[in-house]
A and B are shown apart, each in its own frame.
Chain A
Amino acid sequence: MTADTRAYTAARAAVIRRKRAAPWLLLFPALVIVLIFFGLPTLYMARMSFNLSEGSKLYTPGLSWANYQTVFSNTVFVAAIWTTLKLALMASAATLVIGYLFALLVWLKPARWRLILIGLALCPLLISEIAIIFGWWMFFPKNGLLSFALTNSGMIKDKISLMYTEFAAFVGLVYLTLPFCFFILLSILDGIDKRILEAAADLGASSLTILREVLLPLTRNGLLVAFSQCFIFTMGTYATPSALGPDTLWTMGFLIQEQMLGRNNWPLASALSMVLVILVGVMMGVTRAFSTRRATLHV
């Protein structure tokens, strides 16, 4: 082996080493954010959920299932889990129907409408949740726009208030999730050749038959992904239901905040969060199991 070849091998090794290190250097900032500010807090939260809460201290170190027992036996928390799931299920189902019709509308309308309608769908996504809450907050109550419009047009005599009802919370939640559903479904629909509708119509299928036999099977994966996306999002949203809904509408998110900021019970808040995270995870897993091929990438 001559000096030349040895120098060559050494240089080559250095290049390879640098090549191996390069992706890790590039990934470094992102990994710092994810590991230190997401991974570490999650582990910390998992550990915290087994601690005890006694007296005025934030927590006392311990190792017990007591918090989880509280979450699954105390009626307040059990009711909150059911409320959260029920609300998420109802809101996601409604969003799916409205979002599907909306996406179909944009898909079928001539191109000149497309940009305007897409701009419309972007609004709920780009406006802060708090601004949207406040908007509905001025629409539903007795002095609100709805009541004013209805009494003024003579449709009803007495002022009405829909504020602090489950309906108001529901309307607010659907509003927030609509864009997610819409854009997922529109991207799926855009991949379908529109002439397939013509073909089905030529073969004598009615509009409803086309919807049932052609469009729904083709968009099945998209619908599933959109539903689970809405479901996950709704489960974690607590500001809208707690601000628009009745005082008794306690979702898991609301109780987490209540325990954390109001009662300073960190272990119980952590246990509730862990249950919420696990529910989100289960939902994602279920979607993944049901959907096929490329649709999974969107989850």
Chain B
Amino acid sequence: MSDGSAPLARRGIEPVVFRVLTLAFTIFIVAYVLIPIVVTLVMSFNDASQIRFPIKVWSLDWYSDFMASPQWTEALKNSFIIAVGTALMSTTSGILAAWAFERYDFPFKSLLYILIMMPLFMPGVVLGLGVAIAFGGLQIGGVTIYGSRGLVMVAHSLWAMPLVFMLMEATFRTIDNRVVEAANDLGAPPMRTFFEVVIPMVSTGIISSVLFAFVISLNEFVMALFLTDRDTQTLPVLMWLSLRSAGTPRLAVASVILALTVFACLSLIMLWYIRQLRKVSR
């Protein structure tokens, strides 16, 4: 069936009404989703120092202002370091756990499943508060844990790891078991089978996991607000704090930079996916 809307609207004036309503809703939804994005993008090229419409002069001044401000570039750097750390941490632990669930039977399996998934359903403010009070005064070997980037990485992993776990569990289910069994029969130890046979088969899933974890950590700011100090605050945290005092086009620049990074990650996933498809068809 080429056009599924046909049967919904067949007789009398219904087709006209139906078509008009569909069009109206389409316009509404496109406008709704795009408004905050387009407003931000446009505002980042504004020349004036205030948020005001219409925009009279266009310039890249706020971009150079952002790059010239040590506070903002430092925040961007923190965001990147924390996001990379979160991606590594949550992908490693998530993949291994998903493999355990796919391959082995062990006691308390369904209970552990719920335990691993649970943090995903907890509000960020609760997770941030919990980690902050539990590790607030802790020092290990003279190094304060609280306020460190490492603690934020783990906190972000609480959301990223269950997602990786879910994604990889679904991916592992798609692989051909016979290939794994063949590797075992040929005498490969489990570790070798895993790294040389299984991992290459699920590379798209792994790349997606890494980048999704990266994006989650990059965008998150409620937990980071609870867990960072002045030296380790991330870009979204700095944006939140400066929005509370005064909004300037610099915030728009920061938003655009965050969004561009995310879309770069998405493009990477797409490119990898296309590459894999070509490999298979060859």
Contacts and interface: CB of A to CB of B under 8 A. Distances in A.
A239 B29 CA distance: 23
A101 B30 CA distance: 13
B5 A40 contact: no
Interface string A260-289: 110000100110010011001000100000
A217 interface: no
Nearest to B18: A207
A57 B64 CA distance: 44
Interface in B240-270: 240, 243-244, 247, 251-252, 254-255, 258-259, 262-263, 266
A89 interface: no
Contacts of A253: 123, 125
B134 to A, nearest CB: 4
Given A44-B133, A131-B259, A206 B89 contact: no
A201 B130 CA distance: 55
Interface residues of B, number: 93
Contacts of A213: none
B81 interface: no
B32 A277 contact: no
Contacts of A235: 123
Contacts of B32: 175
Nearest to B240: A130
Contact of B155 (A26, A37, A48, A256): A37
Interface string B96-138: 1101100111100000100110110111111101111111000
Contact of A33 (B93, B106, B130, B263): B93
Given A120-B29, A121-B33, A238-B125, A38 B119 contact: yes
A30 B122 contact: no
Interface in B190-209: 190
Contacts of A136: 35-36
A257 interface: yes
Given A130-B240, A134-B40, A135-B255, A270 B25 contact: no
Contact of B131 (A37, A109, A130, A145): A37
Contacts of B62: none
Nearest to B244: A243
B155 to A, nearest CB: 7
A127 B247 CA distance: 18
A90 interface: no
Interface stretch (B65-73, B157-165, B174-182, B273-281): B157-165
A107 B4 contact: yes
B185 interface: no
Given A38-B119, A105-B22, A131-B40, A273 B7 contact: no
A256 B125 contact: yes
A19 B247 CA distance: 58
Interface string A24-66: 1011111111110111111011001000000000000000000
B199 to A, nearest CB: 14
A184 B127 CA distance: 25
Interface stretch (A5-13, A69-77, A192-200): A192-200
Q: Which 7 A-B pairs have the closest CB atoms?
A: A236-B123, A135-B36, A41-B130, A29-B93, A131-B255, A128-B219, A26-B100
Interface of A: 19-20, 22-24, 26-35, 37-42, 44-45, 48, 98, 101-102, 105, 107-110, 120-121, 123-124, 126-139, 141, 143-145, 147-148, 152, 175, 178, 194-195, 197-198, 200-202, 206-207, 210, 232, 235-239, 243, 253, 256-257, 260-261, 266, 269-270, 273, 276-277, 280, 284
Given A23-B105, A34-B119, A37-B158, 16 more contacts: A22-B190, A126-B266, A131-B254, A134-B239, A134-B243, A138-B39, A144-B51, A195-B1, A200-B7, A202-B7, A239-B222, A243-B243, A256-B125, A257-B225, A261-B225, A270-B129
